[in-house]
Structures are given as C-alpha cells and as structure tokens.
Amino acid sequence: MTQHLTHAGLPADLTRWQLLRLVETARRPLGLSKGAVSYLRQAIGLTTDGDFTKGRICAFWASVTEIAASLSMERRQITRIETELIERGLIHKSSTNRSRRSGHRLHGVIRHEFGINLAPLIERAREIRALAQRAMQEQIEAKALRKQINKLFERIRGLGCDEAELAADAVLPNHRPSTIQSFQRLRQVAAALEAVLADFSADAGGGEMSHQCDISTLPNTNPDQIDKTCRAENRAARQPIRTTPAQTWLLASERFREYLAFYAAGLGSGRAPDEQCFVMAARDLAMNRRSGPPVSHDGP
C-alpha cells in the first residue's frame, strides 16, 4: 500500500455522508462553488465506507468524461472544478491530465490508484465540522439580523422625519435585507441603522434600545413630538451624530457613491464629503431612482 496516499481516518462519530453534509453547510467558508460540492458528492459516491478507515487509501479513478456525464457537465468544467478543489486543499490528483486513470481493489481494499485521492478532505474533517458549525450559527444570527433590520426601518419611518428616512435609504436603498447574503454586511447594515435611529430619535435612549425592537413599542408619532424631533431649531439639542461618513461610504451602493461624489466635488479638492453632502445625495437618490446620476455640478 502506498503510504503517502493513506490517511488518518474520519472522527469516530462521523460518516462519509455526514462529512459531505458538513461540506455543503461550510461551502462558503471553504470558498467552494456549487459545482465543486456536486463533484465531491459524486466522488464520495465512488468510494466505500471502508475507504475512510484509518490507514486506507480513499480514492477513485473515474475519467473526466465519465464524471462529466454523471454530473451533466462539460469536460472543461470538471477540469476547472478539480483544479479548484486541489487549490482549496481538498483533493490530491495523482494522475496527469493526459494519462489514463486507473486503480485496483483487492478484497474491497484499494491497493493502488492513479486518479483522485480524497485523503486531504478526510484530514480536514474536524476543521470542516468547525466551519460548518460556525456557518449554521451565522445562519441563525443572520435570520435574526434580517428581522431586526426590518424592525429598525419601521422605527425610523415611525419618527416621521424625512431626513431620517433619507439616511436609512442611503444605508440600504431597497429596504430588503433578504437580498444580503454576507453575514458581515448584515451586521454592518444593522449597526448603521441603529446609528441612524439614534441620530434622529428625540429620545436619547431610543437608539440604545433598538436592538430590543422585537419587543419594543413603536416610537411616539404624535405630530407635536415629530415636530420637536425634526425642526431645525431643535437639531442642536440632539445627541452627537453616530453615523460616520466612513460608515455610510462603506455601506453605500455604487449609484449612491456617484451622487455623493457629485456633491463632494463642490467642496474642493482633497476635502471629504460632509453631512450635508450625504443628505443631498440621499435625497437625489430617493427622488431619481430611475434616472442616471448628475452630470455637472454648480455647487451644493
């Protein structure tokens, strides 16, 4: 038996198909395409439970043409996927692109192979399980964040302040957290909306409590209270602005950045956009969703 192609085996509580499910769950953290996961499913199906036993060779030698036919893909797609999996450190290719793949089993045990070896995948089983567990936790937290973001939009609308709604539009123009797949971006959006709520809320503690929006009542939308919140003469009494220009720029869409650059140009070379630039850019974006960005500048 070729020693360098053997492996240390799967953890005792893990089967080959459970390993595949972990790979499916951890696909994004592993940086794998959906095609790569389909390939691994096919690959594991070409092995046996015994191949995953400590000290064994775990491999298969189906040709690229055979794998492509099984997955309804082109040969070049399979070649790209194999390259991807090698680069990700999940398979070892003992054959060359021009050589014929082959192998031999004796009494159910692989004695030699000249094809694709799954030892790297098996050796990373514990790491993959940890990544999958983290991914599952992030999925749970992402669901809660999307719900929180929707509630934050409700609370910001409840302020009855146009500037607050424009600021929220700048953070997430489509108001649809379901379109965000990145967990980190969901956290950024939620934090930015928390800051917007704090910036424009008359209640100094309103922004601090917004993370409890699932159980909190909506803000007081009495006209007198709205007027107190949004009148220009009362802005000086607000809490310090928490939404920073850098934070808004980080979350801004490409189109919003075009509007922002338009107004920032009027400040002079080398100057960063100020709060007024962000407000005016958000206003224009909201009013001209279907039109192009401004093409000239006469000053904000």
Which is more confidently placed, 257 or 182? 182
Q: How far, CA to CA in Å, does 246 sit from each of 155, 170, 192?
A: 24, 13, 11
Which is more confidently placed, 260 or 43? 43
Last residue within a domain, chosen from 93, 123, 153: 123
Instruction: Say if residue 76's pLDDT is above 80.
Output: yes
Q: What is the mean pLDDT of residues 181-203?
A: 86
Helix (H, G, I), strand (E, B) or coil at 257: helix
| Domain carrying residue 244 | 135-251
Rg (CA), the chain: 28
- Nearest residue to 51 (alpha-carbon basis) of 102, 97, 17, 90: 17
**C-beta of residue 243 within 8 angstroms of C-beta of residue 195:** yes
Looking at the fold, whether 24 and 110 belong to one and the same domain comes out as: yes
Q: What is the mean pLDDT of residues 143-169?
A: 92
User: What local confidence, expressed as pLDDT, does residue 19 receive?
Assistant: 98
Q: What is the pLDDT of residues 91-111, one digit of tens each?
A: 999 887 778 999 999 999 999
Look at the pTM and tell me if it is higher than 0.95. no
Angle subtended at Cα 217 by Cα 185 and Cα 201, rounded to the nearest 5 degrees: 65
Looking at the fold, whether 145 and 35 belong to one and the same domain comes out as: no
37-41, 112-116, 216-220: which has the minimum mean pLDDT? 216-220
Last residue within a domain, chosen from 90, 123, 156: 123
Helix (H, G, I), strand (E, B) or coil at 271: coil
Looking at the fold, whether 8 and 117 belong to one and the same domain comes out as: yes
Which residue in this structure is represented by tokens 């000290």? 55
Looking at the fold, whether 89 and 11 belong to one and the same domain comes out as: yes
Could you tell me if residue 218 is inside a domain? Answer: yes
**CA distance from start to end of the chain:** 76
User: What local confidence, expressed as pLDDT, does residue 206 receive?
Assistant: 44
User: What local confidence, expressed as pLDDT, does residue 213 receive?
Assistant: 43
Q: What is the pLDDT of residues 221-232, one digit of tens each?
A: 555 555 555 554
Could you tell me if residue 263 is inside a domain? Answer: no
Looking at the fold, whether 94 and 147 belong to one and the same domain comes out as: no
Which residue in this structure is represented by tokens 């040709």? 63
Looking at the fold, whether 174 and 115 belong to one and the same domain comes out as: no
32-46, 51-65, 90-104, 138-152: which has the minimum mean pLDDT? 90-104
Looking at the fold, whether 41 and 142 belong to one and the same domain comes out as: no
Looking at the fold, whether 92 and 11 belong to one and the same domain comes out as: yes
- The enclosing domain of 23 has a CATH number of 1.10.10
Looking at the fold, whether 95 and 183 belong to one and the same domain comes out as: no
Instruction: Say if residue 208's pLDDT is above 60.
Output: no
Q: What is the pLDDT of residues 234-284, one digit of tens each?
A: 444 445 555 566 556 556 666 677 777 777 776 666 666 666 777 777 777
User: What local confidence, expressed as pLDDT, does residue 13 receive?
Assistant: 96
β-partners of residue 299 are: none
Instruction: Say if residue 32's pLDDT is above 90.
Output: yes
Helix (H, G, I), strand (E, B) or coil at 76: helix
Q: What is the pLDDT of residues 45-59, one digit of tens each?
A: 999 999 999 999 999
Could you tell me if residue 295 is inside a domain? Answer: no
What is the rounded CA–CA span in Å between residue 141 and residue 137? 6
What is the rounded CA–CA span in Å between residue 171 and residue 191? 10
Could you tell me if residue 289 is inside a domain? Answer: no
**Structural tokens at position 217:** 């009542």
User: What local confidence, expressed as pLDDT, does residue 178 receive?
Assistant: 92
**C-beta of residue 223 within 8 angstroms of C-beta of residue 271:** no
Looking at the fold, whether 62 and 160 belong to one and the same domain comes out as: no
Looking at the fold, whether 142 and 118 belong to one and the same domain comes out as: no
Last residue within a domain, chosen from 73, 88, 123: 123
Q: What is the mean pLDDT of residues 9-34?
A: 96
Could you tell me if residue 278 is inside a domain? Answer: no
Could you tell me if residue 293 is inside a domain? Answer: no
Looking at the fold, whether 46 and 152 belong to one and the same domain comes out as: no
Could you tell me if residue 71 is inside a domain? Answer: yes
Could you tell me if residue 256 is inside a domain? Answer: no
Give the number of domains in the chain: 2
**Structural tokens at position 201:** 């809320």
Instruction: Say if residue 80's pLDDT is above 90.
Output: yes
